Each structure stands twice: as structure tokens, then as C-alpha cells.
A and B are shown apart, each in its own frame.
Chain A
């Protein structure tokens, strides 16, 4: 584990909404080339944590530090939300899928490469006159999109409107779109929700591929324990905004606090118990 350098350092992160403390004093490290999962019952603060990481919320206290190979240490909590993806290389997906529904799958993936293309088009001037530099950049963008479409088995659907496709497919498109930003760290909010067992297995394979082959850091919020326990290198368990356990899947499965948090709830999660 020590061979993987730390990508993201979360220090004493606290988020309060008025009197409600959604996250309290959370510290966590995420390593490159590894899959780190955040689990916890509903309302534990998982999505709030993602929103704090990606600039959608400004945390009340604490710091989120990203170690970028080129730009050095960047404080994500002080950046405008779009800089988190553009400069720090942290890209997220959403629990309730947020695609561009009337645009085709390919267009969705091209939008993700907006910053590179916009620079290449010299803020539209070179693009308007069809300069070679812009054309090359556009070709590159198409190739990248095609590469990820092929990898995620979406190539046949490239010219279909994204909103017309099935739930599981839309989830994959969202991941493909996030990958087109070339993130260092990809944050997936319940990517396995609504997937059938086969799709879920494919997702596992993809996550492992991204972390092992591409060296990306993967941060995962997931309820599906089939995914979490199989692929995670590191798991952090939240309950009512507090970190109650952290460790490898084996450690987490035997942790009395985790078992209590899950079984103590009215709604038992059988998958953990099993």
C-alpha cells in the first residue's frame, strides 16, 4: 500500500447546515491507483462529502488537499467548483444521473473535453476559420471519446440521444464522460445503483482496470456490497457524519461498530450481515 502515493488528503473536514452537522471532523487519505470506498447508511453524509470535495459545498471547517503531479498541492475547498475538475483533475458522477439528455452520447463525451477544445479553437476564432490546429485537436477529442466508448461497450450507441437509453447504460455513459476529462481522481456516487448482476460485474472489472492499468484514484460511494467488498482496497464507514471505521474489506466486515451501525438500524442491510 505504501507504494501508492497519496493523491487526496482530507483533514478534519466538517460541514454544518445550520444546526445539523452533516460531516464532523472527517480525515481520510485516498491513494493513486487504488479504490477507496465510502459506505454508510442513508443520510450518513457520503454525498455531502463528495459535494465538499468537488467544490459544490464550501466546507465549514477543515481542508481538502489534492497532490497534483504538475501543480503541486491544491486546496480543493478554496477553488471554484469548475476548477476542481479543470485544474485539480478531480471529476465526479452523480447519484441521480446528470447527462445532457437531448445530446448524443458522443456529444456528451465531447462536451467533457470542452476546456482542451476551447483552448485549441483559440476561443472560437481558429475554429471559425477551420485552422489545422483546431482540426487536429478535434480529431484527438473524437479519438479519445471513441476509445472510452469502445472500452465501455457504448460504441454502437454513439449517435443516439443519451436520454433515450436505459438506466444502466446512462450510468456507463456518465462514467465514460467523466473519464474524458482525464481525471487523476474519479469520484463515483453509487455507480452500481440500478445495475443488473452482469452490469455490476462489468463495473467491478472497469474499476479495477482504471485503478490498476491507468493508475487513477477511484473514490466510490456504494451501497452494493458485492461491488464494495470485491474491489475496494480501502473502505471508510460513515454514520451520522462521523467516521466509525476504516480499513481493508476484511477488517471492515469484522468491525463491531460497522455491524452495529448497519444492524442497529431499523432497515437491516442483509448483504453486510450475510
Chain B
């Protein structure tokens, strides 16, 4: 730790040129038959034509690309070596981050008004907010407690199916189901957490991955209970304190009660504000917990489990509480998801959802609340914006992810804000 580790500078410029020339040579050899020569149909007979400029361009691109890639990799390695030598210091509070947070909050409050005519924007923003909420929930487990959970979508499914089943069979409302679904998801979190507590890192990840699949497979196969692959349809939508959003006139509806003309957008905007409120509550809850003993203990467990035991902390309970609270928040998001879609099926709870949520947490910077928001916006909007590029959009998405990981390997917002400071007034 104290020994000086020399920073590896990588090979020199000449070596890089040599390397790129070799790649160019290889691409020239491959390119002659594939690009340099092509067949043309000249009056019934095939003849061979040459495309030397294309070939030259191809070889040039390969040369330049190889050079650029190697420099990017060198840069990446250098950064990595630097980080290994010096841990990121606890930096002074960065005021612009706080302002960014307020700006995002302000924008999210006025968004449905600013885009009131555009249902697509409000819908997409609602999706972003669901992922923000899921990200904040998973952040407790992965970011704070350091337990790699690859099956988080299972708790999302538990919440969604709890609402789906309770509302269609017993006529429960959205707000009634919310606490029940949260408690049920938390119970599932403990059920998953209990046997896996002794596992760490990769092993825990595999077990949680399996757990997520178990829940999904139960939903697919237990047709009597969950409707199997057909899912559950006609789930009642949330009402505005008992006033439904519908064009019917025999009972008071939202539109008749407020004497406004019925519009389908009302519900979309209402749903947006519901998830915004839920997400903000989640944020408040998690930020407060982080400063409480239980939150500090989560971080301590992430840092060093053995030391926690030696200080008399019950690591089992601390991990279970992280699992339970993370799961509960996932359950809340699930209830909202079911209420918004009106239809749920196991299709919505596949592994790639877990992966997306985890990507949001990791990309945002582990443990950072604002980072999750930025990452969720990015991960939901990038594929949406890429729709114009049709089949290339996943390629674009992948390239963007790689670039972010090269430039900011610790996540978009990687700095950690201490939970308590001795010299509150002093700027460190």
C-alpha cells in the first residue's frame, strides 16, 4: 500500500505506429479480395472491376482506428493505475451538483405542463421515473450495502403481481395495495437474503440471478395463480382519490367533478405525478436512512465485513435490512407499473430488466442518488432517441455505454458525500 507503484506509461509512439501499420497491412490483405475487387455484369459476362480508392479508404480507416483505439486503451490503463495508487479522496462538496439536482427536480415538476399536448413525452418521462425509483431501490442493496443483486426484477414482479391479483380478485385499490405489496416484496427480500448471506460477490450474484428466474418461471408456469404467459389483464387504473379517469357520466369522474372536458391525457399526467411523488418519497427515505446508523452500517458492511463483526455489529441483520428495504422499494415500483400498464405478464420481468436497473446504478456511480437519475434518463432515452436509426440503435447504445465506461469508469457521479462532518462550517 505504501510502496510506490510506477505508473505504466505504455509503449512509445513509434511502437503504436508500427502496430497500426501491421493492422493496416492485415486489412489490406483481407481487403483486396473483399473490397478491392468486385464483379460487374457487363453484357451477360461477369468481369472483374477494381475499387482501389475504396480499399485505400478502408485501410486508412483501419490504420487510424487502430491508433485511436490503442491510445484510448493506454489512457484507460493509465487512469486505472493512477486510481490503484491513490484512492479517490473525499472531495469537498460540489455545489453545482446540488444545483443540477434542483434543476432536474424543477424540470420534472413542470414537465407535463410544458409538454401537455405531447403524450409521448409524458409517457417516456413516466418510464424514466419508474427506472429512477427502481435504481434508487437497488442502490440500497448494490450501492450502499455492496451486495451484487442480479435478480432485482423479482421484487418488481412481486409488487406488480400483488396489485394485479388483489385488484382483479378482491377489488383492492392502488393505495390500499401499496403497503401490502411493499411488505410482501420485503418478505421476499428476506427470504432471498437469508440463505445467501454467507455468499459474496460473484456467488451472491449467481444466486440472485437464479432467484429472479425462479420467480419468473413460477409466474409463467403456475397458470391457475398468475395466468401463466397470458398474464393478468384489465387491472384497474389508479383513481384520483376515488374519482376515475373515464368518459362515463353516470358516476362522478375526474372530469365531471372538476367541470373540465374529459381528455385521455388527464390520466397520463396524473400517473406521471404519482410516480414522481413515489420517487421523491423514495429519495427522501433513502437519503435519510443513509445518514442513520443503519445506512452507515450498510456502507461499513460494503467496506469491510470482518471489521464490522469485530466491532460488535450483527452483519446478518444489517444485510437483511438492506435486502428488505431494497425489495420493498422495488415492490412499490411494481405496483405502479401494474397500475399504469393495466396488463402484466412474465415478459415484463425478464433478466434484461434486472440488468438495465443494475446498469443504471453502476453507471450513475454506486451509491449516488443523483447519478441514478442521470443514468436512468440516459439509459431510457438513448434507445428512444435511437429509434430513427432502427436496427443500429442497439449498436449506438452499446457504443455510448463503452465510451462512458472508458471516460468515467467509477460512474457518472463517483464522489461520495460523507454522512457526517465534524467541522460543518469549514469547507474542506
Residue numbers of A with Cβ under 8 A of B are: 54-56, 81-87, 91-94, 98-104, 106-107, 110-112, 114-115, 117-118, 121, 123-124, 127-128, 142, 146, 149, 155, 158-161, 163-164, 166-167, 177-178, 181, 194
Contact A98 B310 (CB under 8 A): yes
Complex A-B, nearest 5 residue pairs according to Cβ-Cβ distance, in ascending order: A85-B312, A86-B312, A100-B303, A117-B293, A98-B307
Contact A100 B307 (CB under 8 A): yes
Most buried by B among A81, A99, A146, A181: A81
Contact B288 A92 (CB under 8 A): no
Q: Which residues of A contact B307 (CB under 8 A)?
A: 94, 98-100
Which residue of chain B has its CB nearest to the CB of A50?
B310
Task: Please measure, in the bound complex, the distance between the C-alpha atom of A104 and the C-alpha atom of B423, giving whole angstroms.
Answer: 12
Contact B297 A118 (CB under 8 A): yes
Other contacts beyond A128-B285, A159-B90, A164-B87: 10, CB < 8 A: A81-B310, A86-B314, A94-B310, A103-B300, A111-B296, A111-B297, A114-B293, A115-B312, A127-B288, A146-B422
Which of chain B's residues 412-428 have a Cβ closer than 8 Å to chain A? 416, 418-423, 428
Q: Which residues of A contact B1 (CB under 8 A)?
A: 167
Q: Which residues of B contact A194 (CB under 8 A)?
A: 2
Task: Please measure, in the bound complex, the distance between the C-alpha atom of A41 and the C-alpha atom of B299, giving whole angstroms.
Answer: 37
Binary interface encoding of chain B residues 94-108 relative to chain A, with 1 for a CB under 8 A from any of its CBs, else 0? 000000000000000
Task: Please measure, in the bound complex, the distance between the C-alpha atom of A117 and the C-alpha atom of B318, giving whole angstroms.
Answer: 14
Task: Please measure, in the bound complex, the distance between the C-alpha atom of A26 and the C-alpha atom of B293, giving whole angstroms.
Answer: 39
Binary interface encoding of chain B residues 268-310 relative to chain A, with 1 for a CB under 8 A from any of its CBs, else 0? 0000000000000000010011001110110110011011111
Contact A121 B418 (CB under 8 A): no
Which residue of chain A has its CB nearest to the CB of B416?
A102
Task: Please measure, in the bound complex, the distance between the C-alpha atom of A92 and the C-alpha atom of B310, giving whole angstroms.
Answer: 6
Q: Does B15 contact A (CB under 8 A)?
A: no
Q: Which residues of B contact A117 (CB under 8 A)?
A: 293
Contact A159 B87 (CB under 8 A): no
Choose among B303, B310, B315, B421 the residue that contacts A101 (Cβ–Cβ < 8 A): B303
Give the number of A-B contacts (CB < 8 Å). 142
Task: Please measure, in the bound complex, the distance between the C-alpha atom of A99 and the C-alpha atom of B308, giving whole angstroms.
Answer: 9
Task: Report 10 cross-chain contacts, Cβ distance below 8 Å, ordered by A residue.
Answer: A82-B309, A85-B311, A85-B312, A98-B304, A98-B310, A107-B296, A110-B419, A114-B312, A115-B312, A121-B294
Q: A123-B294, A159-B422, A163-B87 are in contact. Are A91 and B303 (CB under 8 A)?
A: no
Contact A158 B308 (CB under 8 A): no
Contact A91 B421 (CB under 8 A): no
Q: Which residues of B contact A100 (CB under 8 A)?
A: 299-300, 303-304, 307
Contact B289 A111 (CB under 8 A): no
Contact B296 A110 (CB under 8 A): yes
Contact A101 B422 (CB under 8 A): no
Which residue of chain A has its CB nearest to the CB of B289?
A124
Q: A101-B303, A103-B300 are in contact. Are A85 and B310 (CB under 8 A)?
A: yes
Q: Which residues of B contact A163 (CB under 8 A)?
A: 87
Task: Please measure, in the bound complex, the distance between the C-alpha atom of A117 and the C-alpha atom of B306, giving whole angstroms.
Answer: 20
Contact B294 A164 (CB under 8 A): no
Contact A115 B313 (CB under 8 A): yes
Q: Which residues of A contact B88 (CB under 8 A)?
A: 102, 161
Contact A142 B420 (CB under 8 A): yes
Contact A114 B89 (CB under 8 A): no
Task: Please measure, in the bound complex, the distance between the C-alpha atom of A114 and the C-alpha atom of B315, giving whole angstroms.
Answer: 11
Binary interface encoding of chain B residues 1-28 relative to chain A, with 1 for a CB under 8 A from any of its CBs, else 0? 1100000000000000000000000000
Contact A159 B418 (CB under 8 A): yes
Task: Please measure, in the bound complex, the distance between the C-alpha atom of A47 and the C-alpha atom of B5, giving whole angstroms.
Answer: 29
Choose among A87, A118, A161, A167 the residue that contacts B293 (Cβ–Cβ < 8 A): A118
Q: A94-B307, A163-B87 are in contact. Are A110 and B420 (CB under 8 A)?
A: yes
Q: A54-B310, A91-B312 are in contact. Are A106 and B293 (CB under 8 A)?
A: no
Q: Which residues of A contact B422 (CB under 8 A)?
A: 106, 142, 146, 149, 155, 158-159
Q: Which residues of B contact A104 (CB under 8 A)?
A: 90, 418, 420-421
Question: How far is the CB of B421 from the nearest CB of chain A, in Å?
Answer: 5
Which residue of chain B has its CB nearest to the CB of A54?
B310
Choose among B308, B310, B428 the residue that contacts A159 (Cβ–Cβ < 8 A): B428
Task: Please measure, in the bound complex, the distance between the C-alpha atom of A104 and the C-alpha atom of B296, giving whole angstroms.
Answer: 11
Which residue of chain B has its CB nearest to the CB of A134?
B292
Which of chain B's residues 353-374 have a Cβ closer than 8 Å to chain A? none
Task: Please measure, in the bound complex, the distance between the C-alpha atom of A146 and the C-alpha atom of B421, giving whole angstroms.
Answer: 11
Which residue of chain A has its CB nearest to the CB of B1?
A167
Contact B311 A91 (CB under 8 A): yes
Q: Which residues of A contact B310 (CB under 8 A)?
A: 54, 56, 81, 85, 91-94, 98
Question: How far is the CB of A259 from the nearest CB of chain B, in Å?
Answer: 33
Q: Which residues of A contact B86 (CB under 8 A)?
A: 164
Q: Which residues of B contact A111 (CB under 8 A)?
A: 296-297, 300, 308, 311, 313
Which residue of chain A has its CB nearest to the CB of B418?
A104
Question: How far is the CB of A240 from the nearest CB of chain B, in Å?
Answer: 26
Q: A82-B312, A159-B428, A181-B311 are in contact. Are A124 and B420 (CB under 8 A)?
A: no
Contact A128 B296 (CB under 8 A): no
Task: Please measure, in the bound complex, the distance between the C-alpha atom of A101 and the C-alpha atom of B419, giving whole angstroms.
Answer: 14
Q: Which residues of B contact A123 (CB under 8 A)?
A: 294
Q: A111-B300, A164-B87, A166-B2 are in contact. Are A106 and B313 (CB under 8 A)?
A: no
Binary interface encoding of chain B residues 386-412 relative to chain A, with 1 for a CB under 8 A from any of its CBs, else 0? 000000000000000000000000000
